[in-house]
Structure 1
Amino acid sequence: MDLEAVRTFVAVAEAGQFQKAAADLSITQQAVSKRIAGLEKELDVRLFTRTARGSQLTVDGQAFLPHAREPLRVAERADASVRPGRRALRVDVVNRRIVTAGLVQDFYRVHPEIELDVVTLDTDVDGAIAAVEAGTVDATFHAVPPQQHLPDVIRTARVVDEPHQLLVGPRHPLANARAVTPGRLAGHRIWMPGLDARGEVAAYYDELATVFGVTIDVVGPVFGNEALLAEIADSSDLATLVGEGSRYLWPDSYDLRRIPVRDPSPVYPMSLIWRDDNLHPALRELRNYLDSRRTDSPDVNVWLPKWEQRAAPSPTREV
């Protein structure tokens, strides 16, 4: 069924006159008559009768009217689902416990009028870039090594430099330390079961372990963060690394300690990734907000992976 003919029928029904409907639709009265005639022919009924006071719905027209409005509402919702500014901004925060989720939540507190669709894609930077390029999401957060291939439409900007903290239980030998150096972690078991073995995450932690002689144990079934925290709280030798901005909750009885890692402070650099032809107004608002929140690590003595150090003059393609 011709959707424009249906739209014209509803306009005439609401206006009561072909001439007024034509003005409302910004078309000629002849075009209105032609659309109505075509719709009546397709339905094989008369929809209007002409009177001195205008056009009135026939019995068939009255029966058709509520059904005619429905596809117009569907079309409007479909249009709103894709039109920039009328649909929710879809952002991949990678993990709802890490710093990026907190940043997007803070952004929403500042801009509660902006509709957000927050998702978590289980992928590495290659998959994340592909998702942005395909339009699956409007933006995502990942570390972007300088050798990373970026399609021409993709732009990135570094927005987070997140230091690490050591998470230990009360019986761990480092439990009472106010801070630890990366070298001091040598000989201690850093347990990170399920650590992503793909892409930039694996490359970062492999280099961190090699440079500082740290043993990162990724062996073991993954029962979730709650189980991991319970194991660490009850252990005298297990520890794990968490981001400074990561959010975890545990019972007071666990008495877990978050200890800053400093001198140097290992920093995981994360970038916002988006398409440069994405005109969603909320995307620019998000970029501006993240740029205003961007701060260098307060610890001047930081460690970055070599792939980030090599990229220091131009770490990412920015606009």
Structure 2
Amino acid sequence: MDLDTVRTFVAAADAGQFQEAAAELAVTQQAVSKRIAALERNLGVRLFTRTARGAELTIDGQAFLPHARELLRVAERAVASVRPGRRPLRVDVIASRGAASGLMRGFHRAHPEIDLDVVMLLDIETAVTAIRSGAIDASFRAVAAPGRPLPEDIESVRVLDEPLQLLTGPAHALAGARSVPLAQLAGHRIWMPGIVPGTEWAAYYDDLVAEFGLTIEATGPNFGSDALLDTVADTPALATFMGEHTRLVWPADHGLRRIPVTDPTPVYPHSLLWHRDNPHPALVTLRAHLAATTVGHDAAGTWAPGWVIPR
């Protein structure tokens, strides 16, 4: 059903005259008559009768009027749902406990008036596809892994270098250290069952191992962070890497230690990705917020893979 004809019908019903409806709609009276006639043909009924005072609704016109108003309201809601700035900003944070989730919580506290949809997508290909299709507005990623450059229509900006920490149980040989030089971790077993081959974080740890001679084990099923913490707490031979901004809670009797890694400090580089033609005004606000509230990258005494986009 043509919404212009429905809109014209409602205007004519409210005005009681085709001439006044034409003036309100900024069209000719002839155009109003043609639209009403087309709607009547479509419905198979007469909607108006001509009188000396103008046009009056028939019984069928009276019955159709409230539904016509609802059609126009539904159409306006449909348009508003996708109008830039009217729908929520949709952002991929990968995981609920990671640094990106913390960045978005900070953004929400600073801008509670902006509606947000937070989603969690595993791999960068899925995220980039969602950005290009408009399914999401932005994603936090480490870019760009070797051999996988970003498409030309995807923009990125580095927003946070997150220091890695060593997480150990109370009986681990390094549990009492205030900090640990990266070279001292050679020979220690670092267990990270959550590494997924083909992801950007797998490429990150491959480079870390190759450059510093570390031993990272990704064997065994990944039962989630709680199971990882239980195992590290109970196994003196195992430690794991944890981002400084990763939010974790464990029982007090676990006795886990988060130990800074130094000389150099490996940092995980978080970048924000978005489509260059995305018009959502809240995306501009998010980028400005991140630029104002996050620290610089490539600081002295830190390490990140050479393939990470520095901008």
TM-score above 0.5, yes or no: yes
Aligned positions, number? 310
Q: What's the offset of the Cα at 1:49?
A: 3.2
1:69-148 equivalent positions in 2, closer than 5 A: 69-124=69-124, 126-145=125-144, 148=148
Partners of 2:120 and 2:109 in 1: CA distance:
20
**Structure-2 change in CA distance of 1:189 and 1:285 (3 Å):** same
Q: Give yes or no for contact 2:170–2:257 (8 Å, CA) kept in 1.
A: yes
Q: TM-score, normalised by structure 1?
A: 0.89
Q: Which moved more, 1:143-152 or 1:236-245?
A: 143-152
Q: Give yes or no for contact 1:84–1:281 (8 Å, CA) kept in 2.
A: yes
* Ranges in structure 1 where 5+ consecutive residues have no aligned partner: none
**Structure-2 change in CA distance of 1:234 and 1:50 (3 Å):** farther
Q: Give yes or no for contact 2:190–2:216 (8 Å, CA) kept in 1.
A: yes
Partners of 1:248 and 1:16 in 2: CA distance:
67
> Aligned pair 1:268/2:268, yes or no?
yes
Secondary structure at 2:194 match in 1: coil
Q: What's the offset of the Cα at 1:259?
A: 1.4
**Structure-2 change in CA distance of 1:231 and 1:88 (3 Å):** same
**Structure-2 change in CA distance of 1:54 and 1:116 (3 Å):** farther
1:275-319 per-position Cα deviation (integer Å, ceiling 9, x unaligned): 1111111111111111112313696311121324xx6xxx34xxx
**Structure-2 change in CA distance of 1:252 and 1:49 (3 Å):** farther
Q: Give yes or no for contact 1:194–1:220 (8 Å, CA) kept in 2.
A: no
Q: Give yes or no for contact 1:158–1:269 (8 Å, CA) kept in 2.
A: yes
Q: Give yes or no for contact 2:175–2:257 (8 Å, CA) kept in 1.
A: yes
1:140-289 equivalent positions in 2, closer than 5 A: 140-145=139-144, 148-289=148-289
Q: Give yes or no for contact 2:189–2:239 (8 Å, CA) kept in 1.
A: yes
1:276-315 equivalent positions in 2, closer than 5 A: 276-296=276-296, 300-308=300-308, 315=310
Partners of 2:54 and 2:113 in 1: CA distance:
43
Secondary structure at 1:241 match in 2: strand
Letter of the aligned partner of 1:131 in structure 2? A
1:51-66 equivalent positions in 2, closer than 5 A: 51=51, 54-66=54-66
Letter of the aligned partner of 2:178 in structure 1? R
**Structure-2 change in CA distance of 1:31 and 1:160 (3 Å):** same
Q: What's the offset of the Cα at 1:194?
A: 2.8
Partners of 1:293 and 1:9 in 2: CA distance:
53
**Structure-2 change in CA distance of 1:29 and 1:168 (3 Å):** farther
Q: Give yes or no for contact 2:168–2:257 (8 Å, CA) kept in 1.
A: yes
Q: Which moved more, 1:187-196 or 1:56-65?
A: 56-65
* Ranges in structure 2 where 5+ consecutive residues have no aligned partner: none
Q: What's the offset of the Cα at 1:55?
A: 3.7
Partners of 2:164 and 2:214 in 1: CA distance:
14
Partners of 2:54 and 2:175 in 1: CA distance:
85
1:233-262 per-position Cα deviation (integer Å, ceiling 9, x unaligned): 222222211111111122323232211111
Q: What's the offset of the Cα at 1:193?
A: 0.8
Secondary structure at 1:268 match in 2: strand
Q: What's the offset of the Cα at 1:174?
A: 1.9
**What fraction of aligned residue pairs are identical, expressed as a percent?**
59
Partners of 1:245 and 1:71 in 2: CA distance:
49
> Aligned pair 1:11/2:17, yes or no?
no
**Structure-2 change in CA distance of 1:235 and 1:295 (3 Å):** same
1:151-207 per-position Cα deviation (integer Å, ceiling 9, x unaligned): 332211111111101122222222222211222222222111131211422221011
Q: TM-score, normalised by structure 2?
A: 0.91
